[in-house]
Structure 1
Amino acid sequence: MTSAPAHLSHDAIDLMLDDCETWAVVGLSANTRRTAYAIAQVLQAHGKRIVPIHPVFGTPDGPEEVLGERGYATLADVPFPVDVVDVFRRSEEAGQFADQAVAIGARGVWFQVGVVDEAAFERTRAAGVAMVMDTCPKIEWVNRSVRRA
């Protein structure tokens, strides 16, 4: 059995999927065609509380909720603890959300498929926060079932 690359640590994945209940989903809006919306539904199906994070929630005409959960314009606006910050943003924009996750005391940071920022990964891990990049919870739930079989 080969070990996973550092950015796909099984320990970090297991921590977030098993022990973290509240997931802030950065980039989640009411647009049902976006991947963030579909993955937020998967998270809910696995019993996770999702917290939509998108600038649209800070506008007068923006929605207040997505998938039955109140949305917030920024991570700093969330008035309760967040366990995982799940990032659906371009790689060049993602690092700031990893830094914000550390600042709010999140236990984990998850960069979705195609989202890679090695410097943010190093900063986040150095702060003692679990992090994975370039993968998806839906994929990892399937991978874990195979890995554990």
Structure 2
Amino acid sequence: MQNPSKSEIKDILDRSKRIAVVGLSDRPDRTSYMVSKAMQDEGYEIIPVNPTIDEALGVKAVASLKDVEGPIDIVNVFRRSEQLPGVAEEFLQTDAPVFWAQQGLANEEAYRMITDKGRTAVMDLCIKVARAVIK
């Protein structure tokens, strides 16, 4: 598994506007909430993808990626590494160009599924930290 270069990650974050966050919690003490709030504060539109909550960050949640209306630029994932292949399958049913697994999350099978289809996979990297570093 090889993540895109720093310049490629900068390009991804600079051109992206809408981030669907799989596993976004509605609890402010959770990492998914803190990271997504920081990205929202940076001007990104955050779409919560979690069937167990009604809303997060003032945005109505959807149950799955297929329920997101409109384009998705990045699918940011907060699910255990062993769940990434299932999320990757759902991701591949969207037009989203980038699958981003948060820090501590990586799965070779999911990575291959995504990159074999010509899409970009980022693994084991915090999107908030990446954004702060390339600003």
Check whether TM > 0.5: yes
* Residue 91 of structure 2 corresponds to residue 95 of structure 1: no
How many residues of Structure 1 are paired with residues of Structure 2 in the alignment?
135
- Secondary structure at 1:36's aligned position in 2? helix
Please tell me the residue identity of whatever aligns with 2:47: V
Distance in 1 of aligned mates of 2:93 and 2:7: 22
Runs (4 or more) in structure 1 with deviation over 2 Å come to: 7-12, 141-145
The residue that corresponds to 1:143 in the other structure is 133
1:101-112 correspondence to structure 2 within 5 Å: 101-112=91-102
The residue that corresponds to 2:50 in the other structure is 54
Q: Percent of aligned pairs with the same residue?
A: 35
* Residue 13 of structure 2 corresponds to residue 17 of structure 1: yes
Please tell me the residue identity of whatever aligns with 2:117: A
- Structure with greater Cα Rg: 1
TM-score under structure 2 normalisation? 0.91
Cα deviation per residue 1:18-54 (whole Å; 9 max; x = unaligned)?
A: 1111101111121111100001111111110000011
Summarize the Cα distance change of 1:43–1:143 in structure 2 as closer, same or farther, 3 Å threshold: same
Can you give the 5+ residue segments of structure 1 that lack an aligned partner in the other structure?
58-62
Distance in 2 of aligned mates of 1:136 and 1:35: 10
Distance in 1 of aligned mates of 2:8 and 2:66: 23
Distance in 2 of aligned mates of 1:12 and 1:121: 17
* Residue 81 of structure 2 corresponds to residue 85 of structure 1: no
The residue that corresponds to 1:60 in the other structure is none
Contact 1:85 1:98 in 2 (8 A): no
TM-score under structure 1 normalisation? 0.83
Can you give the 5+ residue segments of structure 2 that lack an aligned partner in the other structure?
none
Q: 1:142 deviation in Å?
A: 3.2
Q: 1:122 deviation in Å?
A: 1.4
Higher helix share: 1
Two-structure CA RMSD over aligned residues (Å): 1.6
Summarize the Cα distance change of 1:20–1:105 in structure 2 as closer, same or farther, 3 Å threshold: same
Which of 32, 36, 41 aligns to 2:32? It is 36
